């Protein structure tokens, strides 16, 4: 590991008499004479005690470091931030969630570029820090690997965080006593790891593995397990080959690789947030990916995983039968994956999957292709006069495929949640939550509290919800998000009034306000853009730089 190629960046930091001050400072953090001749690998840890998703990641970073050092490179661990969607959900603090993706990408870029790291291994364990890590790695475009922190174990009685949110609605409707709500609250989160269903964290971990940016099976390991520790050591060792061969994210994160990721998350019934994040990640690496790609791939890809939130099983139970590798092998054998894509193993996807065994007989978590939960994608991209630049819905078919109802309009999540809890929302309503988009929120909050309240109230089949905000991967029901243009930009969602008729049609892929163009034009003429909710600080900066949700809500577009 002493050749110049693997030290493409670190040599500029540590070589020569002029860099004696740099070496002096590095000696203080543990470098010896021989370390200056090695490739330096930055290990970006998203450890934090603000959330169970990331509370164990410092320990995983140490394991990654062991792997790096044992393979002849020099590990350098550093931290970036994380926030908790689950803890901040339904509050003003949730506006920082999507924003944190950009902060994480910025910080990884800043630290590893500044310090001359030759390679980077990033470890993420919650929704935004995973795409944030990938975007940081893509910007640097140096040999890189992503390690998933792993999923949480089930809570008592097969509960998870969404069980708690839905119990709040159940208590409000009188179906769940306070003692039961308290019991679920105290037992649903048993320890470290990301939320347990095929919510956003597990969706994105699976997508990143399908992209080829993590080692095989990294997405399907429990957070607290020997297999996750070994995954970390293996990733540390694997970076050496990438350094030697100069295999970079741009060699791996190709258009075909993103198509593989989209195909996999559809079969898993994954989160709508994957649309936003995959488009953002692709934009960062310079790959053209759009909502049309999700439509094209979705028309021929079935949903076959019976996983929460709309299904029965948790990620830990999918892990018990083999994780996602057997599913990827099935997809490859069916001609639904591109097997020639490069991965961080230095091998192609097909080579990685060559010897993967199928699922055990009798399992009913992953269904056969000819007996799907839904014959095409649950991620339905909608157009129509309410979303001329697109919207994203998660419709498994269990909710029905068409809904027409009467608008109940709210200009914030808090207003809508209070109305649902107080009983103002009734069967036949379409709840409209607006001014929650990337610019208008700002920050595009997730609407897990309102959707869970609707489910908890027993209205899941009778009420639809549309928003220019987002949904948690745990949301379920007849829901449509990412409505573009957003209300703050004067999109049609800003023109809806109470009592308007709205139709959502998953088969024609349209969301429409049932009014004439003349009426909408007259309303638009009277509309005025509201004043920004923030004028200083991070949220204000974000609102000024963020792009539309339909283009990934990125902040570094030229």
Please indicate, yes or no, if residue 361 is contained in any of the structural domains: no
Tell me the residue range of the domain where 389 lies. Answer: 379-551
Q: Tell me if 417 sits within 8 A of 450, measured CB to CB.
A: yes
Structure tokens at 313: 């099983």
The answer on 267 and 177 residing in a single domain is no
- DSSP symbol at 158: G
Residue 7 CA: distances (Å) to CA of 65, 109, 232, 449:
18, 18, 22, 49
Q: What is the pLDDT of residue 1?
A: 39
Neighbours of 1 (CB within 10 A): 16
Using the 3D structure, point to which of 164, 190, 216 is the last residue of a domain. Answer: 190
Residues 388 and 502 in one domain: yes
Instruction: List 77's β-bridge partners, or say none.
Output: 43
Separation of alpha carbons 353 and 329, rounded Å: 6
Alpha carbon dihedral 116, 119, 125, 130, in 10-degree steps, equals 90
Of 472, 475, 548, 550, which is the active-site residue? 472
Q: For residues 222-245, give the mean pLDDT.
A: 98
pLDDT 10s digits, 419-433:
999 999 999 999 999
Binding residues for [2Fe-2S] cluster: 53
If asked whether residues 49 and 181 sit together in one domain, one would say no
203 and 322 co-located in one domain: yes
Cα 120 versus chain centre, distance: 20
- Quick: pLDDT tens for 465-498: 999 999 998 888 899 999 999 999 999 999 999 9
Are 33 and 142 found together in one domain? yes
Residue 149 shares a structural domain with residue 279: yes
Domain identity same for 530 and 456 = yes
Higher pLDDT residue, 400 or 357?
A: 357
| 367: DSSP letter | -
Residue 255 in any domain: the answer is yes
In this prediction, residues 352-378 reach a mean pLDDT of 97
Q: Are residues 199 and 299 in the same domain?
A: yes
- Any domain includes 252: yes
* Least confident segment among 74-78, 161-165, 491-495: 161-165
The whole-number pLDDT of residue 396 equals 84
User: What pLDDT score does 3 carry?
Assistant: 46
> Residues annotated as binding site?
53, 85, 127-128, 446
The CA distance from 305 to 265, in Å, is 10
Distance CA 107, CA 133 (A): 9
**pLDDT higher than threshold 80 for residue 2:** no
With respect to residue 459, please indicate whether it lies within any of the assigned structural domains: yes
> Residue range 169-182: average pLDDT?
94
**DSSP code at position 79:** E
Average pLDDT over residues 230-239: 98
Q: How far apart are CA 293 and CA 10, in angstroms?
A: 39
pLDDT at 5 (0 to 100): 61
Please give the annotated binding residues for Mg(2+), written as ranges.
85, 127-128, 446
Give the C-alpha separation, 100 to 169, whole Å: 28
The pair of structure tokens assigned to 315 is 């990620």
Query: Is position 558 within any domain?
Result: no
Residue 371 in any domain: the answer is: no
How many structural domains comprise the chain?
3
- Is 472 labeled as catalytic in the residue annotation? yes
In three-state secondary structure terms, 502 is strand
Q: Are residues 96 and 63 in the same domain?
A: yes
Residue 293: the pLDDT is 98
Q: Quick one: 185 and 217 in the same domain?
A: no
Handedness of CA 373, 376, 377, 378 (dihedral sign): negative
Tell me, yes or no, whether 174 and 207 share the same domain. Answer: no
Any domain includes 370: no
| Domain final residue pick, 138, 163, 190 | 190
Give the pTM: 0.97
Whether 368 is in a domain gets the answer no
pLDDT, residue 477, reads 87
CA-based nearest residue to 557, from 282, 291, 294, 292: 282
In the block, tokens 């697109």 appear at: 390
Lowest mean pLDDT among 49-63, 325-339, 471-485, 541-555: 471-485
Q: Whose CA is closest to 135, among 157, 110, 165, 166? A: 110
Domain boundary among 302, 337, 353: 353
Return the pLDDT at 558: 84
- pLDDT surpasses 60 at 161: yes
- What is the reported pLDDT for 399? 77
pLDDT tens per residue, range 296-328: 999 999 999 999 998 999 999 999 999 999 999
- For residue 309, say if its preceding peptide bond is cis, omega within 30 degrees of 0: yes
Domain at 519, CATH number: 3.50.30.80
293 lies in the same domain as 309: yes
């Amino acid at each position: 590991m002493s050749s110049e190629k693997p030290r493409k960046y670190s040599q500029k930091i540590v070589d020569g008499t002029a860099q004696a001050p740099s070496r002096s400072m590095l000696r203080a953090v543990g470098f010896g004479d021989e370390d200056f001749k090695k490739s330096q690998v930055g290990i970006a840890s998203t450890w934090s005690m603000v959330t169970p998703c990331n509370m164990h990641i410092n320990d995983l970073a140490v394991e990654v470091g062991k792997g790096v050092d044992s393979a002849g490179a020099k590990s350098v661990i550093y931290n970036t931030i994380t926030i908790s969607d689950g803890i901040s959900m339904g509050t003003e603090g949730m506006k920082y969630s999507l924003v944190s993706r950009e902060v994480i990408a910025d910080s990884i870029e800043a630290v590893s570029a500044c310090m001359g790291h030759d390679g980077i291994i990033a470890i993420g364990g919650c929704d935004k820090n995973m795409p944030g890590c990938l975007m940081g790695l893509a910007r640097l475009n140096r040999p890189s690997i992503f390690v998933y922190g792993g999923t949480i174990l089930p809570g008592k009685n097969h509960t998870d965080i969404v069980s708690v949110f839905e119990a709040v609605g159940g208590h409000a409707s009188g179906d769940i006593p306070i003692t039961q709500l308290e019991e679920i609250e105290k037992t649903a989160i048993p320890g470290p790891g990301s939320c347990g269903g095929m919510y956003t964290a597990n969706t994105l971990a699976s997508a990143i593995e399908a992209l080829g940016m993590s080692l095989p099976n990294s997405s399907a390991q429990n957070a607290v397990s020997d297999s996750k520790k070994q995954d970390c050591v293996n990733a540390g060792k694997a970076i050496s080959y990438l350094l030697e061969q100069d295999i970079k994210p741009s060699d791996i994160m190709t258009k075909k690789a993103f198509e593989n990721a989209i195909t996999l998350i559809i079969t898993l019934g994954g989160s709508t947030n994957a649309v936003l994040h995959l488009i953002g990640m692709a934009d960062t690496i310079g790959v053209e990916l759009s909502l049309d790609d999700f439509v094209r791939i979705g028309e021929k890809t079935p949903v076959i995983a019976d996983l929460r939130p709309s299904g029965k099983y948790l990620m830990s139970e999918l892990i018990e039968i083999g994780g996602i590798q057997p599913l990827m092998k099935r997809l490859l054998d069916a001609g639904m994956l591109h097997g020639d894509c490069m991965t961080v193993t230095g091998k192609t996807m097909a080579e990685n999957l060559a010897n993967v065994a199928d699922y055990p007989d009798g399992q009913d978590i992953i269904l056969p292709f000819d007996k799907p939960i839904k014959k095409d994608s649950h991620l339905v991209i909608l157009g129509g006069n309410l979303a001329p630049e697109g919207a994203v819905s998660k419709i498994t078919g269990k909710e029905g495929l068409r809904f027409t109802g009467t608008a109940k309009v709210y200009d914030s999540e808090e207003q809508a949640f209070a109305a649902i809890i107080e009983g103002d929302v009734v069967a036949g309503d379409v709840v409209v939550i607006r001014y929650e988009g990337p610019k208008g929120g700002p920050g595009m909050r997730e609407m897990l509290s309102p959707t869970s309240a609707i489910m908890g109230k027993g209205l899941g089949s009778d009420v639809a919800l549309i928003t220019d905000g987002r949904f948690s991967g745990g949301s379920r029901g007849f829901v449509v998000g990412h409505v573009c243009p957003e209300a703050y930009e004067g999109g049609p969602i800003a023109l809806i009034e109470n009592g308007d008729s709205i139709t959502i049609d998953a088969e024609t892929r349209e969301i429409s306000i049932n009014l004439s163009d003349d009426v909408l034009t007259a309303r638009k003429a009277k509309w005025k853009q509201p004043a920004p909710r923030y004028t200083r600080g991070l949220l204000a900066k974000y609102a000024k730089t963020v792009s539309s949700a339909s283009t990934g809500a990125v902040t570094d577009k030229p």
